[in-house]
A = this chain, B = another copy of it.
Amino acid sequence: MTTIKDVAKDAGVSVGTVSNVINGARVGKEKKILVEQSIQKLGYEVNTLARGLKTQKTDYVVVILPELENPFFSLILSNIEKALSERGKQIVICISGGDAEKEAKFINLAKRNKIDGIIGITYSKIDKYLTDSMAFVSIDRHLRTDIPYVSNDNLAGGRLAAENLCLRGAKNLLCFQTISSLDSEVRNRRRGFEQYCIDHGVRYNCAEFSETQGSSIYTSFGSRNLIRNVLNAYVNTDVDGIFASSDHLAVVICEEARKMGKHIPEDLQVIGFDGLRLLNYGSPLVSSIEQPVELLARTCVDMLMKILNHEEVHSITNLPVRFVEGGTTKKMER
């Protein structure tokens, strides 16, 4: 392996000068050319470990995600990757499976490895593992007062869902969500939903179920039986509009309701949350409140950059959402 010393010797200058050339400091024209030639000739490349040891920085950013098989998370990762790579940062992924210990382990590793910062979407209790020294941006979750977080306008999203069900003729609504949602900003989806119903005198109920721990806690496919049971309790009442706390849940609800003989959207309208699309590109899977994933990712990354730059940052929780028509709600006249 060729080092900075070899280059210095070959170019007939000192290592300091070589270092200056590499890092764009002012260097005399001729020496600079000499050094560049030697670098070319020897095929020299900086050893970022040595550099990091000195500077305590690595240009790595850890992204913590509960899952990758859930398209919503891979979509977020994809967008974060774009924004981060534009900033010259590389991404180390941590797939936590919702396991707080694994998250903690990774945060520790990140510290040891002198990772520049962390962007995390986490629903477990990791507050105590976070040292003040780490640059951390949270998504959809308020972790600690000193940790900024970014989320869409969940309150407006919930309201929007209720409103769109009502506009399409639903009279008796149901808010259907997972327990784990209760922990995070996501709970505001329900709040917004309830607000609208109360403000407009709409009949409504709220149902929730706890997802089974394990392989696919964020997918709602593992908990199909639970969902079926909850749904059973409502399907034969005159509930005619359901707001599900995620598209995953909405898809399963639609499937199960159809099995129970319901026609969607004629008998029962369903609105999900996230705005997922077929293969991430095609048509919406269900009618939904769409999250601005790209903006969300970009906002997180900007925020992290500011922190690394020692600028002051504040949480942002009002990223705009919108209703998208996906075939599980009735068409509206214009």
Contact = CB atoms under 8 A, between A and B. Distances in A.
Interface string A50-78: 10110000101000000111110011011
A112 B81 contact: no
B280 A71 contact: yes
Interface of A: 45-50, 52-53, 58, 60, 67-71, 74-75, 77-78, 81-82, 85, 90-95, 108-109, 111-114, 216, 219, 221, 247-248, 251, 255, 276, 278-282, 285
B281 A69 contact: yes
Contacts of A285: 278-279
A75 B78 CA distance: 13
Contacts of A71: 71, 74, 279-280
A49 B47 contact: no
A243 to B, nearest CB: 19
A49 B60 contact: no
Given A221-B282, A281-B216, A50 B48 contact: no
Contact of A279 (B45, B47, B70, B91): B70
A112 B50 CA distance: 10
Nearest to A91: B93
B68 A279 contact: no
Contacts of A93: 77, 81, 91-93
A113 B46 CA distance: 9
Closest 8 CB pairs of A and B: A68-B78, A74-B74, A221-B281, A69-B280, A49-B53, A49-B52, A48-B113, A45-B112
B278 A251 contact: yes
Contacts of A91: 92-93
7 contacts: A68-B81, A70-B280, A81-B95, A91-B92, A216-B281, A219-B279, A278-B285
Contacts of A278: 251, 285
Contacts of A282: 221, 251, 255
Nearest to A60: B92
Nearest to A248: B279
Most buried by B among A77, A109, A278: A278
A281 B219 contact: yes
Contacts of A85: 95
B74 A90 contact: no
A293 B21 CA distance: 46
Contact of A47 (B47, B92, B114): B114
A219 B74 CA distance: 15
Contacts of A69: 74-75, 78, 280-281
B78 A90 contact: no
Given A69-B78, A81-B95, A93-B81, A49 B280 contact: no
Given A60-B92, A68-B81, A279-B285, 14 more contacts: A45-B111, A46-B112, A49-B58, A50-B53, A68-B74, A70-B279, A71-B71, A71-B279, A81-B93, A216-B281, A219-B279, A221-B279, A276-B279, A278-B285
